[in-house]
Amino acid sequence: MAKRIDVSDLDIYYGNFKAVEGVNLSIEPRSITALIGPSGCGKSTFLRSLNRMHEVIPGARVEGKVVIEGQDLYGSDVDPVDVRRQIGMVFQRPNPFPTMSIYDNVAAGLRLNAKKTSKSDMDGLVERSLKGANLWNEVKDRLNRPGSGLSGGQQQRLCIARAIAVQPEVLLMDEPCSALDPISTLAVEDLMMELKEQFTIVIVTHNMQQAARVSETTGFFNLNGVGQPGRLIEYNPTEKIFSNPDEKATEDYISGRFG
C-alpha cells in the first residue's frame, strides 16, 4: 500500500507571497521521514501541499511537481478529494468530531463518503483501526461514548485511527505530539514505528529527539530572513543529519546555536 513520493522544484505561494521555494526530495515507501526547522520556515506548508490540503486556504497555490508512484498530484485531471483519500493527515491538535461517538469517529472516513458498508464489516474495520492505533483496549467498552470525552493523548490516537481507517497509502503528521505529555508521546511514537510497516509516514516535528528516535530520513528547512521563502537546506539519512551534517546551518540548528 505504501507509496513513494517524488517532489521536484516545488514552490508554494500564499497569494503573491512565496512561502516555500525550490524543494527537491524523494520520500521512500515504508519509512518515516521527519521534517525539522524553525517556526515559519514552511515545513507544515510543505507537508500540507503533499495532500493538497493547503488549497483550503484561499489564494494558496503551488508550482512544480509532486509525483506519487508515477501519478502527478497536481495534474489537471486530478481531484484534490481523491488525493486526500489516498494521503491521510493527522493534525497538531487532536480534532475528533464532537458530535460523533468514538465508533462513529473511526467510521467517519467511510460514512462521510457514503460508502455502503455492512455492519459487520464496519465493526471489523473500527476494531482493526483502533487496534492499529493502540487504543482498542482503552475504549472497547465505551465505543458509543463521545470522542471528545477522551484524554488528549487518546484523542490523538483516535484521530490516527480515523486516518488509517480509510486505508491511505501515505500518512502525513503535522506535529502530532506537540500537545501531548511524554507518555502519550511515547505511545504515538511506538504507534508510528508499527505503522511504517504499512504506510509511508511523513512527520513534522519541533522535537529533534523525536526526529532522531523515529525517522530514517530527515529534512531540515530554514529561511534566510523574515519575508523570505523557506528552503529545504539539507535532506539526508537521520543518522548523518544528527552526527555529521553536510551543511553548517543544519549543525547550528541541531546543536542549538540558533533558533
Partner 1 sequence: MSTSTQQSSAGPDTSASSPNPLGGHEKQAPWVPWAVFGAAAVLALGIGLLTSWNIVLFVIYTVVLGTLGTYVLSRVTEGPRKAVDRLVTCLVISAFGIAMVPLVSLVYEVVRRGAERFDGEFFTASLQGIIGPGGGAYHALMGTLIITLLTTLISVPIGLMTAIYLVEYGSGRLKRSITFLVDVMTGIPSIVAGLFAYALFVLIFGPGVRLGIMGAVALSVLMIPVIVRSAEEVLKLVPNELREAAYALGVPKWRTILKVVIPTAIAGLATGVTLAIARVIGETAPLLITVGITNALNFNPFDGRMATLPVYAYYQLTQPGVPPENAIDRAWTAALVLIMLVMGLNVVARLISRLFAPKTSR
Contact 149, 158 (CB under 8 A): no
Phi, psi of 235 (to 5 degrees): -140, 105
SS3 content of the chain, % helix, strand, coil (to 5): 40, 25, 35
DSSP letter at 106 equals H
CB of 49 to partner 1, least distance (A): 13
149 makes contact with partner 1 (CB under 8 A): yes
Query: Which span sits near partner 1 by CB under 8 A: 37-45, 76-84, 206-214, 246-254?
Result: 76-84
Segment interacting with partner 1 (CB under 8 A) among 4-12, 29-37, 106-114, 225-233: 106-114
Chain positions 196 to 235 lying near partner 1, rule: CB under 8 A, are none
Closest CA to 247 of 232, 233, 229: 233
Nearest to partner 1 of 140, 248 (CB atom): 140
Q: Which three cell numbers stand for residue 59?
A: 489564494
| 180 touches partner 1 (CB under 8 A) | no
Please give the Cα distance from 228 to 230 (Å, whole number): 7
Measured in residues, the chain has a length of 259
In this complex, which beta carbon is closest to partner 1, that of residue 89 or of residue 191? 89
C-beta of 1: minimal distance to partner 1 in Å?
15
Report CA dihedral (186, 45, 233, 2) to the nearest 10 degrees: 60
* Under rule CB under 8 A, residue 148 binds partner 1: yes
Interacting residue with partner 1 among 6, 29, 95, 216 (CB under 8 A): 95
- Beta strands (DSSP E) in the chain are 5-14, 17-27, 32-36, 60-68, 71-72, 87-90, 170-174, 200-204, 217-223, 230-237
Report the residue number, 14 or 97, with the smaller CB distance to partner 1. Answer: 97
Considering only 98, 152, 237, 259, the residue that binds partner 1 (CB under 8 A) is 98
Size of the site for partner 1 (CB under 8 A): 33
Binding of partner 1 at residue 93 (CB under 8 A)? yes
User: Which residues of the shown chain bind partner 1 in the complex (CB under 8 A)?
Assistant: 51, 53, 56, 58, 81-86, 88-89, 91, 93, 95-99, 108-109, 111-114, 145-146, 148-149, 159, 162-163, 166
